[in-house]
Structure 1
Amino acid sequence: MKICSSIVPVAALASLGTALVIPELAGEGERRPKEHKGHKGASREHEGLTVKMGKPNSEDVVHMASQLSDEVSRRLAPLVTPRSADVLENRYIVLFRKGVSLEEINFHKELVSQVHLQEVSQMSEDDDFFEGIQMEGMFNSPEGGIDQAFDINGVVTGYAGYFPEKVVDAIRMSPLVEVVEKDSYVYTQKADTENNAPWGLARISHREKLNLGSYNKYLYDSDGGKGVTAYVIDTGVNVNHQQFGGRATWGKTIPEGDDDEDGNGHGTHVAGTMASATYGVAKGADIVAVKVLRSNGSGSMSDVIKGVEWATQAHQEAVKKNKPGFKGSTANMSLGGGKSPTLDLAVNAAVKAGLNFAVAAGNEDQDACNTSPASAEGPITVGASTLSDDRAYFSNWGSCVDVFAPGLNILSTYIGSETATATLSGTSMASPHVAGLLAYFLSLQPGKDSEFFNAEQSIAPDQLKKKLLAFSSKDVLTDIPSKTPNLLIYNGGGGDLKGFWGSKDVAEEFNEKVDLDLHELVENLGSKTDAVFGQIRGLMDRLDII
């Protein structure tokens, strides 16, 4: 594969760090871009170096070899390999430092592209670099180079692509670059499949442990979710499913060459728990599919970041349009991979932009702080609980977990037909309970019914997160490791939400509204009923009824 015949010395590659911008050398070890007002054709001098601004050419690249300095070599951006992750060989995510101008970014990317092309032109066609790209088959870029760029709320900006090692070394020398991260695989957080068990909604609408009178009773406000958009960042959504009643639309497919459909089922199941008519927490919310994982349930970290970017921008556009009745947005990511600082920053930036986020804690029965996006601070990280109020055996734990939600044997929508359902288990099933609950609370905010309300007045995500956690049922779960919060989400039991928004907790009043006579009967039976229910629960498990 010969793209051009010019030979670029290794020193020219190394000089890329000096050439991308003119760094302000303000002390040993500091790396930051210098603000400037350049224009096409202009040149700038600093520390004896002369660099043309505007679009670079091959002469610029070769000339930079003579400008290499020891100062630049000490300014390498860190190279991060996500912990406990399967990396994509020779693929990297590059994150810019804060405050970098658009002009600097464009010049940087132009020069990286030229240096990359000149470097790969010297490689043999059967080089492992090219073979690796072809084996991955995830991106249409036979010679590599930059193939994605992202900008999340002006806070997290960067790009991704396949690069040889020498080009990566050169990129790390740029004072514009904060970190270079090896791209890695991301997977759905589904644990296993069982038979039908629609109990999760009932659990989040009762403070007390479920019993014969409550295990299949979901108490809720029928207006919950109306006016809220719920982004499902996953494998896609079966948007034609009858359970969505026309409220589901296809937003974006990120993986190149993939179809606008859910070929896996995971995303459709998640969407159903969030907002379907029968299985959803917020039954009135609108659903938008953002496909970042392929039909096999896996994808790249860079694609996930692009999905977060798309959902964030879509939310911001909706806020600007100020459509009557729009009350805000939520997002769910029931996926995870190794520890990725870039993905964590991306999700945090989305939250700061106003997107209320829930993410799965993971299914490895380990510290959730070892994985991303579970370790991000902005979203709500969700562990999985069981019908008997235990921590699910697979659920991750630790200080990065914020709250628990039902995640074992969860019935929801699926693929294959417009009426298909399936029962799945995993923190993937727990997280959408929280994303749906965020939509539920958003839609029921005080003052939301005013025709003058607009989404910019909506409660900030960090404040809604605090209220949701404070309103959760405390110390009701067992098998909770140390430094892990013992909290189970609660929707208020279908009554008014004075207890949630700041007044006294009226949870007991909520629970008395539905099936009052049966509830009193069960209360009077006391421990005997609990014993009977335990026996029935065991029988149902053996018969695969729920």
Structure 2
Amino acid sequence: MLTIQALLTLVPFVLAAPLIQPRAAETIPGKYIVVLKPNGPSAGEIFADLAGGALASVRRERTYDLGGFKGFAASLSDAQVEALKGDSKVAYIEADGIAHTQAAITQSDAPWGLGRISHRSKGVSDYAYDTSAGEGTCAYIVDTGIYAEHPEFEGRATFVKDVAGSATTDDNGHGTHVAGTIGSRSYGVAKKTKLYGIKVLDSSGSGAWSDIVTGIQLAVSHSKTQSCPKGVVVNMSLGGGKQQSVNDAVAAAVDAGLFFAVAAGNDGQDFSSTSPASEPKAFAVGASDVNDKLASFSNYGRTLGVIAPGVNVLSTWNDGGNNTISGTSMATPHVAGLGAYLLGLSGPLTPAQLKSKIQSSATSGAISITYPASLGTPNKLAYNGIS
């Protein structure tokens, strides 16, 4: 397939910014994310210039200024899209779409994942870890929010903001479950990390990509105001069809120093056509079961970061109790928590250094992977290196 990048090498100049339609995605009619060229003015500075003629009635719904990633989200008519495509300050325009959590509720009682990531062999139920346990780190959960008052969080959890509404807690449960695997007292990998919930998904577990980009930006800006001397990790247990603006926002946040663990997805297919897992600077996570098999639902691919426990994972819930659910959503916080745990041990690392550390310490060849996932998917199971 001829890509936009390939087209740019074949022609000496571009007459109009491309309009990108997300692949295999649920788009939101009439809503777009407009990404500006990185070396130009900010969205706020140039919007007055853009908003002439056909654009006079455009109202920005979101504004993005995250290092090299700049732009805005707005409701646009076809004529307004065409007008923006002709503006030299616009890099590309992308239809807004919907992302979802990557989990499915099941019934089980066995919290086995912590034992698995702290031993080279399966079947060990205890969790071995260094008592530093992620102290001095901050973990951001970009999800359905967090029930910060859960006793398992021991006062270390904060609901930062609902970027799409006015909720003040997790009205779904998914985000609280993810946070518990990262850093709760009983179910967490990094039991002393500070937990920050940013709500970008609604009570049904769905949300607009434009709101998710806002959540990514908020994680970067908010973390700068907190005490996180050993580093910051971000968990994104959500996904949908490939959305370039979301990938670019994640890349900019990684460039700002934040490590991103992202769900590979639950479609049982290569994740190269999904976001944010397809972003190379993120760390995509697949799911395994208690028998060390790649979960039947888990996405896969040659650039998968690691595999982690993701079937029948017990963790915190938004009613103050616990729940057991499955998905790459549940595998990912094992790795975000592992990132916080390793930062707590070593001190600050760049995201690239932390990715390398997680991959080099992983247990190789432990997971049974069948065709077609076996074609090139790295067989590496997350491990905390305690031995």
TM-score by length of 1: 0.67
| Counterpart position of 1:171 | 84
Q: Distance in 1 between matches of 2:38 and 2:143?
A: 28
Higher relative contact order (CA 8 A, sep 6+): 2
| Counterpart position of 2:384 | 491
**Residue 170 of structure 1 aligns to a residue in which SS?**
helix
Q: Distance in 2 between matches of 1:384 and 1:251?
A: 28
Shift of 1:177: 0.9
| Counterpart position of 2:317 | 414
What pairs with 1:452-471 in structure 2 (closer than 5 Å)? Answer: 458-471=348-361
Q: Distance in 2 between matches of 1:259 and 1:252?
A: 8
Which string of whole-angstrom CA distances, capped at 9 and with x for unpartnered residues, describes residues 94-143 of structure 1? 111120024xx44531244454565x6xxxxxxxxxxxxxxxxxxxxxxx
Amino acid at match of 2:363: S
How many residues are aligned here?
374
Amino acid at match of 1:146: R
Given the superposition, is the C-alpha separation of residues 491 and 306 from structure 1 closer, same or farther in structure 2, using an over 3 Å criterion? same
Amino acid at match of 2:375: S
What is the CA RMSD across the aligned residues, in angstroms? 1.5
Alignment check: 8 A CA contact 2:295 2:311 kept = yes
**Residue 239 of structure 2 aligns to a residue in which SS?**
strand
| Counterpart position of 1:101 | 41
Structure 1: stretches of 5+ with no match in the other structure? 1-27, 32-74, 121-143, 449-457, 494-509, 511-546
Which string of whole-angstrom CA distances, capped at 9 and with x for unpartnered residues, describes residues 450-471 of structure 1? xxxxxxxx21110110111011
| Counterpart position of 1:285 | 193
Which string of whole-angstrom CA distances, capped at 9 and with x for unpartnered residues, describes residues 336-387 of structure 1? 0110111111111111111011000000001111100000111210000000
| Counterpart position of 2:112 | 199
Given the superposition, is the C-alpha separation of residues 291 and 115 from structure 1 closer, same or farther in structure 2, using an over 3 Å criterion? farther
Q: Distance in 2 between matches of 1:88 and 1:389?
A: 39
| Counterpart position of 1:182 | 95
Given the superposition, is the C-alpha separation of residues 112 and 470 from structure 1 closer, same or farther in structure 2, using an over 3 Å criterion? same
| Counterpart position of 1:381 | 284
Q: Distance in 2 between matches of 1:356 and 1:109?
A: 31
What pairs with 1:392-411 in structure 2 (closer than 5 Å)? Answer: 392-411=295-314
Alignment check: 8 A CA contact 2:181 2:189 kept = yes
Q: Distance in 1 between matches of 2:264 and 2:340?
A: 20
Shift of 1:224: 1.2
| 1:474 maps onto 2:364 in alignment | yes
**Comparing 231-240 and 105-114, the one that deviates more:** 105-114
What pairs with 1:203-242 in structure 2 (closer than 5 Å)? Answer: 203-210=116-123, 214=124, 216-242=125-151
Alignment check: 8 A CA contact 1:115 1:167 kept = no
**Residue 375 of structure 1 aligns to a residue in which SS?**
coil
Amino acid at match of 2:380: L
Q: Distance in 2 between matches of 1:240 and 1:113?
A: 45
Given the superposition, is the C-alpha separation of residues 87 and 470 from structure 1 closer, same or farther in structure 2, using an over 3 Å criterion? same
| Counterpart position of 2:332 | 431
Amino acid at match of 1:209: K
State the identity as a percent: 43
**Residue 167 of structure 2 aligns to a residue in which SS?**
coil
**Counting strand residues as a fraction of each chain, which structure ranks higher?**
2
**Comparing 234-243 and 339-348, the one that deviates more:** 339-348
Shift of 1:272: 0.1
Amino acid at match of 1:80: I
Which string of whole-angstrom CA distances, capped at 9 and with x for unpartnered residues, describes residues 279-305 of structure 1? 000000000011110111000001000
Amino acid at match of 1:367: D
| Counterpart position of 1:369 | 272
| Counterpart position of 2:72 | 159
Alignment check: 8 A CA contact 1:194 1:425 kept = no
Q: Distance in 2 between matches of 1:278 and 1:304?
A: 29
Q: Distance in 2 between matches of 1:411 and 1:106?
A: 45
Shift of 1:175: 1.0
Q: 1:110 aligns with which of 34, 48, 54?
A: 48
Shift of 1:427: 0.1
| Counterpart position of 2:13 | 30
Q: Distance in 2 between matches of 1:222 and 1:277?
A: 12
Q: Distance in 1 between matches of 2:272 and 2:55?
A: 38
What pairs with 1:491-530 in structure 2 (closer than 5 Å)? Answer: 491-493=384-386, 510=387
Shift of 1:400: 3.1
Alignment check: 8 A CA contact 1:380 1:465 kept = yes
**Residue 314 of structure 2 aligns to a residue in which SS?**
strand
Q: Distance in 2 between matches of 1:114 and 1:175?
A: 14
Amino acid at match of 1:465: K
| Counterpart position of 2:170 | 262
Which string of whole-angstrom CA distances, capped at 9 and with x for unpartnered residues, describes residues 415-444 of structure 1? 12x3x1000000000000000000000001
What pairs with 1:531-546 in structure 2 (closer than 5 Å)? Answer: none
Amino acid at match of 2:24: S
Q: Distance in 1 between matches of 2:122 and 2:39?
A: 51
Structure 2: stretches of 5+ with no match in the other structure? 1-10
| Counterpart position of 1:518 | none
